């Protein structure tokens, strides 16, 4: 959910050495759990994600001002939502995920990864649950202003424009394809070229 597989986390904590070591280690482990594909069993996966959340919370405890620890917490929360499915019963989980990404963004307002993740969350959510495509577009463009080669933001923006049938979509899709072909994973390339095929229909 929310494009987190397209984002590579960079670890850095600004604190005293013992807390810094704990922050970095726990954040790294929490992010690895979020990105793991070792099991397809939903029960086991939910348990893994609970552990990922616990590790991210431990990282936050070691350094509450470490944006990437809050981002790792969001990643695990978002994957839980993806697994459980969005429903009225999952509103508390969604509320906590929103709080985590907002805290990460408050601590690192110019981080392209965090900007892209929040933008994709807003793009995917129904409006009744807080979705906002205009704000999502603003966040993607802000991320790209910081890093024009930020692949996740480029893909997310292209997808938003294609979905909204904007006349600027073709140019943005072309940029996404170029960037995905240069530096993306096979999944990234498939996503970018899939958008081009959608445009051609």
pLDDT tens, 110-165? 999 999 999 999 999 999 999 999 999 999 999 999 999 999 999 999 999 999 98
Q: Where are the alpha helices (DSSP H) in the chain?
A: 17-35, 42-62, 67-84, 91-107, 112-124, 133-146, 151-163, 169-183, 186-199
Number of neighbouring beta carbons within 10 Å of residue 185 = 12
pLDDT single digits (tens) 40-92:
899 999 999 999 999 999 999 999 999 999 999 999 999 999 998 877 778 99
Q: Is the pLDDT of residue 93 over 80?
A: yes
| Domains with residue ranges and CATH for the chain | 1-108 (1.25.40), 110-201 (1.25.40.10)
Answer yes or no: are the C-beta atoms of 1 and 79 closer than 8 Å. yes
Answer yes or no: are the C-beta atoms of 146 and 110 closer than 8 Å. yes
Q: Check residue 20 and give its pLDDT.
A: 63
Residues 6+ apart with CB under 8 A from 185: 6
Output the six-digit token pair for 157.
């923006």
Read off the pLDDT of each residue in 92-101 and give the average, rounded to a whole number.
95
């Amino acid at each position: 959910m929310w494009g987190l597989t397209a984002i590579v986390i960079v670890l850095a904590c600004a604190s005293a050495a013992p807390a810094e070591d704990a922050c970095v280690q726990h954040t790294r482990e929490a992010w690895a759990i979020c990105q793991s594909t070792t099991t397809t069993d939903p029960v086991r996966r939910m348990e893994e994600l609970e552990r990922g959340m616990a590790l991210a919370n431990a990282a936050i405890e070691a350094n509450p001002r470490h944006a990437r620890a809050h981002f790792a917490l969001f990643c695990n929360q978002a994957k839980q939502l993806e697994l459980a499915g969005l429903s009225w019963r999952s509103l508390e989980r969604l509320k906590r995920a929103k709080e985590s990404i907002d805290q990460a963004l408050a601590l690192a307002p110019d981080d392209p990864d965090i900007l892209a993740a929040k933008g994709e969350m807003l793009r995917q959510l129904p409006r009744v649950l807080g979705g906002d495509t205009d704000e999502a577009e603003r966040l993607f463009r802000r991320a790209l202003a910081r890093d024009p080669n930020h692949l996740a933001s480029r893909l997310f923006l292209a997808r938003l424009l294609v979905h909204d049938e904007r006349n600027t979509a073709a140019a943005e899709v072309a940029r996404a394809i170029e960037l995905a072909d240069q530096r993306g994973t096979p999944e990234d390339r498939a996503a970018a070229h899939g958008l081009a095929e959608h445009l051609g229909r």
